[in-house]
Amino acid sequence: MKINDIQVAKNFKLYEFECHDGNHEVKIYQDLIDRLQRLRDLVGKPIVVTSGYRNEVYNKKIGGSPTSLHILGKAADLALPKGVTVNRFANLAEKAGFNGIGKYAWGIHVDIREVKAMWDVRN
In the chain, the percentage of residues whose pLDDT exceeds 70 is: 100
Q: What is the pLDDT of residue 46?
A: 97
Could you give the number of structural domains in the chain? Answer: 1
Given a cut of 90, whether residue 2 has pLDDT beyond it is: no
Q: Worst-scoring range by mean pLDDT, 1-5, 71-75, 101-105?
A: 1-5
* 12 has pLDDT over 90: yes
In whole angstroms, give the CA distance from residue 12 to residue 46. 9
Whether the CA torsion 114, 90, 39, 25 is positive or negative: it is: negative
Residue 1 lies in a domain: no
Host domain of residue 13: 7-120
Is residue 44, in this structure, part of any structural domain at all?
yes
Secondary structure of the chain as H, E, C letters: CCCCCCEEECCEEHHHHCCCCCCCCCCCCHHHHHHHHHHHHHHCCCCCEEECCCCHHHHHHCCCCCCCCCCCCCEEEEECCCCCCHHHHHHHHHHCCCCEEEEECCEEEEECCCCCEEEECCC
Q: For residue 2, is it within any domain?
A: no
In a domain, 28, yes or no: yes
pLDDT of residue 123: 77
Q: Give the span between the Cα atoms of 123 and 98, in whole angstroms.
A: 23
The pLDDT of residue 1: 72
- Read off the pLDDT of residues 32-74 as tens digits, 9 standing for 90 and up: 999 999 999 999 999 999 999 999 999 999 999 999 999 999 9
- pTM to 2 decimals? 0.95
| CA pair distance 111, 34, nearest whole angstrom | 12
Evaluate whether 47 touches 78 at the Cβ level (below 8 Å): yes
108 within domain boundaries: yes
- Residue 16, in any domain of the structure: yes
Q: Is residue 95 part of a domain?
A: yes
Q: Does residue 24 register a pLDDT over 80?
A: yes
CATH number at residue 108: 3.30.1380.10
Count of all residues that appear for the chain in the document? 123
